[in-house]
Structure 1
Amino acid sequence: MTHILVLGAGYTGVAAALRAARGTRRMGGKVTLVNASPRFTQRLRLHQTAAGQRPAEHLLADVVAGSGVELVLGRVAALDPAAREVRLDDGRVLGYDKLVYALGAVTDASVPGVAEHAYVYDRHDQAVRLAERLGSLTGGTVVVAGGGLTGVESATEIAESHPRLHVVLLSRGRPGAMMGPAARMYLDKALERLGVEVRAGVQVMKVLPGGVELAGGEHLDAAATLWTAGTRGLPLAAESGLSVDTRGRIVVDAALRSVSHPDVYAVGDAAAVSQPFGVLHGTCQSGVPMGLHAGDVLTDELRGRTPRPFRFGYFHQPLSLGRRDAVIQFTRPDDSPRRWYLTGRLAVAYKETVSSSPFPTFRMLKRGLVPVRAFALTAGLG
C-alpha cells in the first residue's frame, strides 16, 4: 500500500486529495488529508467575512465524505523528509510514502508592527476578529494596506457594508494596474462611488496601535488596519530542509515535485511553479489545477508511467466591488489583459459563480468527472 499524505485542506489540498484518492484506489493507494481546522476556509470570501457577512460554512468531513480520503485534524509542527514523517502539535507522528505539501502561504509580516497591530487573512478567525472590530466602530478610518485584488475587494466590501467608516486604500502602485485601461477606469469610478480614498504611490514603513507610518514620516490615524500587502511561504518548508525561493516557497520541477526531495510535491501558494512566462502567483485559479495535476502525477507514478509536465495559463482577473458590483478582466495565459472585460450585474454573477465553483468541482471529483485538461483548455492552453 502506498500512503499519500496531503498537508493542508484548502482549495488546492482538497483537490489533490480527492484526485489522488480516485486515481489510486484500485492500486492500493491510501490518502490522508491533514488540516488544523475542521472547517473548510473559503479564502475567496474572507473579505466578505471581514465586512460582517456570513458566507455558508462547509465542514471538511462533509467535503471529503464518500471519497475514501481519511481526514486528520491537527496542526503540522514539523516535517522530516528524510524519515518521511510529519509531527503534529499534539505529538502524533504520521508516516508517508508520498507527501503533498499544500499548506499555502501566510502574510508577509516583515514590516514592523504588522504582526502586532494589523489584521490579516491567514485564518478564518482573523477575518472574524476584524468583523467584530468593524462592527464595534461608530466612525473613524479603516486603512487597507495593499492594492492587489484582495486589498481592493476588502476596501470596497468594507466601504459598502460600513458606510459610516472612512476607508483608505494604500498602495505602492495604482490599484488595478494589472488590468486593461477600460476595466481600470471602471474600477477607479467604483472606488470613488463607494467613498474609498485611494492613496497610490505610498509605502507603509510601520504599523502602529492607532494607525500607520508612511515613508517620509507621515502618520495616518486608523481605528483598524488590514494588511494585504504580500505573502510568503511558511517557515516549515525551509526548516525541513526543502529547497525554497526567496519568498519561502518550495521550488518544484515540471511535475510539481520538490527539486531537493522528489517524494514531496508542493502545490498552490506554497509552491514556486515556473511556466514559460514566469513563476505563477498564487490564486485559486492556478491552485486547483495544480492540485489535480499532483493527483494525476501520483497516479501515473503508481502505474509506472512518466508524468506529464504541469502547464497552466491564466484566464481572468475576477474582482468583486461590494455585493452589487464587480469587474472581470479577461487575460492572456501570462495574465496580461485582453481587450475583453465584464462589469455590473453580469460581472457580479460571473464572480459569484467563480467563488462558488470549488464545491461543485469537489463533488464532481469524487465521481471522477473533472479532467485536469479542462482547466488547461479554459486557460487557452488546449
Structure 2
Amino acid sequence: MSSTTTGQRIVVLGAGYAGLTAAKGAGRHHAVTLVAPEDRILHRIRRHETAAGRGRDWPTIGELTRDRRITHRRARAVALDPAAHEVRLDDGTTLAYDTLVYALGSRTAWHGVPGAEQLACSAEHAAELHRRIAAADRPGTLAVVGGGATGIELATELAEAHPAWQVRIVASGLVGGVYSDKGRAHVRRVLARLGVAVHENATVTEVTPDGLRTTAGPIDAGLVVWAASLEPHPLAAEAGLAVDEHGRALVDDHLRSVSHPDVHVVGDAAAVTVPGVGTLRMGCATALPQGQYLGKLLAGRTAKPFSFRYTVQCVSLGRRDGLLQVVRPDDSMRPTVFTGTAGRLAKAAIVGVVLSSLK
C-alpha cells in the first residue's frame, strides 16, 4: 500500500517533535487523526526550565494544527493490531487506519534499580519536581542521576535557581563524557562555579529515602532526580513490529517498519540507520528532521530516501552559559566549541527554531 494514497486514513500516535511535525506535513493533503493525551506540546528540551520554575505554557496542539486537516484525540494508545490495521485507545474506542505513524517516543529507563521509580522524580515530571522543591521546609540536598545533556541541564539550572540547595550530579561514567576535551572541561568549570558536587564513575545501585547507594559509596540526598537514560515505549515490540535489542523499531530508508510497511516509525521509537552516519541517537535533533521528512513523504512532496547529517550538539548551562559542541556528520566530536554567552545564545536560537518549526 502506498503511503501517499489519497483518501487514506492516517493515524499518528504521539505529539512529540516527530509525531507533530509528521502530522502537520501529512495534514496539508490528508485527513489525519493525531492521538496524544496532552493538550499542549511537552517541549522536552526545555524541561530543565520547568523544573527550576522558569518554564511557561507552550502552545496547545490545537493552536499548532488549526491550519491542517488534523483531528486531535486526547487519549493514549494501549494496544496495536497491525494485522487488523487497528489501534485501541484507553477510552475504550478503536481507530482503524490505512497508514499508521508510530511516534510514541521514549520514557525514563529505571533499569530495575531498587527504589528508583518509587522514590526518584523523573525528568518527565519536571513540574512535580519544582513543586517538591518549593514545598520543602528548608533548603536541602538534591542529587541528579545522569551525566548526559539532560542531567547536566537539570543540575546547572537547579543550582542557579536555588543557590541555597546543595546540588549533586551523579554519573556512572564521566559527566559530559560524550563531549570533546574542551567541551567537557567547560561543563566542569560551570558546575564548579555553581557549586555542584560531581560524583563520577558511581553507578547507582539503590535509591533510598536518604539518598543513593552507588558503587563508589553512599551519597546523601533529600531529593533525587532521575535523568540517567531513556527507553522506547514498549508498544511497538508488544505489537510484533521488528525491533532492535533496545526495543526501537527497525525501519527502512523511507522510515517504514521493515516488518509492517504500512507503519511508519519516527523519533526516539525508531532505529534509523543512515549510510555513513550510523544509527541515529534519540533526541530532538534527530526526531524533528524525521517528522519533517515523513510529513513530506505522506503528502507526496518527496519520494527520496531519508537522509541526515549531524552538525552540532548543544546544552544549556543555566541562564548565563551554554555549550555548543561542533561535531562531524557521524556525531563524533570535533575540537571546536562555543561557550559562555555565545554557547547560550546558540542554544537559545536552536530551541527557538524548533518551536518555530512546530508552528
Query: In structure 1, how many angstroms separate the alpha carbons of the residues matched to 2:249 and 2:119?
Result: 29
- 1:281 corresponds in structure 2 to 281
Instruction: Determine if contact 2:25/2:298 at 8 Å carries over to the other structure.
Output: no
- 1:373 corresponds in structure 2 to none
TM-score computed with the length of structure 2 as normaliser: 0.94
- 1:354 corresponds in structure 2 to 350
Instruction: Determine if contact 1:4/1:99 at 8 Å carries over to the other structure.
Output: yes
Query: In structure 2, how many angstroms separate the alpha carbons of the residues matched to 1:92 and 1:175?
Result: 45
- 1:185 corresponds in structure 2 to 185
**How much does 1:40 deviate?**
0.9
- 1:317 corresponds in structure 2 to 313
**How much does 1:209 deviate?**
2.5
Give the CA RMSD over aligned residues. 1.5
User: Which of residues 106, 121, 124 is equivalent to 1:119?
Assistant: 121
Unmatched 5+ residue regions in structure 1?
Answer: 364-382
Instruction: Determine if contact 1:45/1:55 at 8 Å carries over to the other structure.
Output: no
**How much does 1:280 deviate?**
0.9
Query: In structure 1, how many angstroms separate the alpha carbons of the residues matched to 2:143 and 2:358?
Result: 36
**How much does 1:235 deviate?**
1.7
TM-score computed with the length of structure 1 as normaliser: 0.88
Query: In structure 1, how many angstroms separate the alpha carbons of the residues matched to 2:258 and 2:36?
Result: 25
Amino acid at match of 1:121: A
Tell me, yes or no, if structure 1 residue 15 matches structure 2 residue 14: no
Query: In structure 1, how many angstroms separate the alpha carbons of the residues matched to 2:181 and 2:117?
Result: 35
Instruction: Determine if contact 1:36/1:76 at 8 Å carries over to the other structure.
Output: no
Query: In structure 2, how many angstroms separate the alpha carbons of the residues matched to 1:70 and 1:279?
Result: 32
* Consecutive aligned runs of 4 or more in structure 1 exceeding 4 Å deviation: none
Tell me, yes or no, if structure 1 residue 91 matches structure 2 residue 92: yes
- 2:10 corresponds in structure 1 to 4
Query: In structure 2, how many angstroms separate the alpha carbons of the residues matched to 1:247 and 1:48?
Result: 29
Aligned-partner SS, 2:205: strand
Amino acid at match of 1:183: G
Unmatched 5+ residue regions in structure 2?
Answer: 1-6
Aligned-partner SS, 2:192: helix
Question: Mapping of 1:227-376 within 5 angstroms?
Answer: 227-275=226-274, 276-300=276-300, 307-363=303-359
Query: In structure 2, how many angstroms separate the alpha carbons of the residues matched to 1:7 and 1:254?
Result: 20
Instruction: Determine if contact 2:47/2:55 at 8 Å carries over to the other structure.
Output: no
- 2:4 corresponds in structure 1 to none
**How much does 1:347 deviate?**
1.7
Deviation readout 1:205-247 (Å, 9 max, x if unpaired): 111233111126x322211111111111112111111111222
**How much does 1:329 deviate?**
0.6
